[in-house]
C-alpha cells in the first residue's frame, strides 16, 4: 500500500519535466529558466499560453481545462486515476535515485501506455458549414483529405474530424476540431487520440512526399494544408502546431527548399523563426509572414497561388 510518506518523497525526487518527457508530451513546450510554457500537453489544446509549469517548485497549471497541481496531480490528470495509482505509475516512469534503482528494481525503462493506432475508416460527411463557409474547403478537397463530420464516434462528437497518417501513409486515427465555443474555452480547439505521437508525424506528409523534390510548404493546421492543396500545390505539410521536432525537421530538410507559412500571431512568428534557424544550414528556407491575426486558410485560393508562384513553387494537379 502506497503511503503519504511515499507521496512526499516522490514529489521531491520526480520532476514535472521528467513526467512530460516520459509521456512524450514535452515536444511543444518552451523552457524559460525554471518555467515550461506552451499549449497544454494534457488535453491537447493549441493555445500557446495555456500551460505553465514551475520547475523549481514542481507545480503546473493549465489555464483552459485541466486545472493544476503537483507532479502526482499531473499523472492523475493524464491517466485519469487516483493518488495511489498515480504514485505507483510514477515509480514505473522514473526511479527515485540511483541507490534505490539498484536495490528496488526501479531502473527499468520508462513504462508508458503506448499509442494504439486506430486503423479503421470512419465515413465522414464532407459537407459542413465550418469547412465550406469558415475555411473555404470544397467538398471534393475534404473527401480527398478525409475530413468531415460523423455521428458514429463519441470521441469526434461536436467536432469536424480529420484522418491522420504516419509518414509512411499508415492510418493512425482521427483528430477533431471542436466547434462549441464553451468546449474550446475549457479544452482547446483540437482533440487528439490519447498518447498520440504528434511530434512524429507531419499531416499530409504521406501525400506530399511524391512532390518533396520540388520543395515543401509548411503550415500549422490541416485546414491550411487542405487550402494550399486546393490552390494547386500538393507539396504541403502541417506541423499540427507551431513547433517542429527533430524528426519532422529531418524529413523537411530532405526537400531542396522549404517555404514556412505559419499563422500571423506571436506563436506562429516565433515558430517560424525557430524553424528557419533549425533548417537554414541544411536546405533553402523561406519564410512568408502573414498579416497580424491571419492564417493561410483565410486567404483566397488565387492569393495562395500567387504566394506559391512568388516563391517559385510549381503547382501540382
Least confident piece of the model among 15-24, 64-73, 115-124, 192-201: 15-24
DSSP 313: P
pLDDT at 19 over 50: yes
pLDDT of residue 150: 94
Rounded CA separation 122/170 (Å): 15
Read off the C-alpha cell for 235: 507539396
CB 161 within 8 A of CB 176: yes
User: For 131-148, how does the pLDDT look when each residue is reduced to its tens digit (9 = 90+)?
Assistant: 999 999 999 999 999 999
Rounded CA separation 105/298 (Å): 55
Q: What is the three-class DSSP state of 51?
A: strand
Rounded CA separation 265/292 (Å): 6
Q: Which region holds residue 9: left if phi is over 0, alpha if psi is between -120 and 50, else beta? A: alpha
Radius of gyration, alpha carbons of the chain: 21
User: For 248-305, how does the pLDDT look when each residue is reduced to its tens digit (9 = 90+)?
Assistant: 999 999 999 999 999 999 989 999 999 999 999 999 999 999 999 999 999 999 999 9
Average pLDDT over residues 208-216: 94
Amino acid at each position: 500500500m502506497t503511503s503519504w510518506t511515499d507521496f512526499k518523497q516522490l514529489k521531491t525526487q520526480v520532476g514535472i519535466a521528467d513526467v512530460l518527457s516520459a509521456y512524450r508530451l514535452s515536444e511543444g513546450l518552451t523552457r524559460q529558466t525554471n518555467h515550461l510554457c506552451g499549449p497544454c500537453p494534457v488535453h491537447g489544446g493549441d493555445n500557446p499560453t495555456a500551460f505553465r509549469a514551475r520547475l523549481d517548485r514542481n507545480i503546473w497549471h493549465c489555464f483552459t481545462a485541466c486545472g493544476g497541481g503537483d507532479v502526482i496531480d499531473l499523472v492523475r490528470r493524464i491517466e485519469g486515476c487516483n493518488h495511489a495509482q498515480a504514485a505507483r505509475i510514477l515509480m514505473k516512469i522514473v526511479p527515485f535515485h540511483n541507490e534505490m534503482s539498484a536495490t528496488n528494481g526501479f531502473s527499468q525503462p520508462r513504462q508508458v501506455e503506448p499509442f494504439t493506432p486506430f486503423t479503421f475508416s470512419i465515413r465522414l460527411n464532407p459537407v459542413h458549414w465550418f469547412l465550406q463557409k469558415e475555411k473555404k474547403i470544397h467538398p471534393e478537397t475534404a473527401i480527398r483529405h478525409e475530413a468531415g463530420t460523423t455521428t458514429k464516434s463519441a470521441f469526434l462528437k461536436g467536432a469536424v474530424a480529420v484522418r491522420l497518417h504516419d509518414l509512411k501513409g499508415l492510418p493512425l486515427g482521427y483528430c477533431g476540431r471542436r466547434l462549441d465555443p464553451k468546449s474550446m474555452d475549457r479544452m482547446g480547439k483540437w482533440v487528439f487520440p490519447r498518447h498520440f505521437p504528434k511530434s512524429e508525424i507531419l499531416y499530409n506528409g504521406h501525400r506530399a512526399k511524391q512532390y518533396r523534390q520540388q520543395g515543401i510548404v509548411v503550415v500549422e493546421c490541416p485546414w491550411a494544408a487542405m487550402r494550399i492543396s486546393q490552390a494547386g500545390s500538393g507539396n504541403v505539410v502541417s506541423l499540427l502546431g507551431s513547433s517542429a521536432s527533430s524528426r519532422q525537421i529531418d524529413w523537411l530538410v530532405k526537400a531542396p527548399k522549404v517555404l514556412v507559412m505559419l499563422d500571423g500571431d506571436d506563436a506562429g512568428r516565433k515558430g517560424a523563426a525557430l524553424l528557419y534557424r533549425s533548417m537554414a544550414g541544411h536546405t533553402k528556407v523561406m519564410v512568408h509572414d502573414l498579416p497580424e491575426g491571419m492564417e493561410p486558410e483565410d486567404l483566397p485560393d488565387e492569393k495562395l497561388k500567387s504566394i506559391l508562384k512568388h516563391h517559385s513553387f510549381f503547382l501540382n494537379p
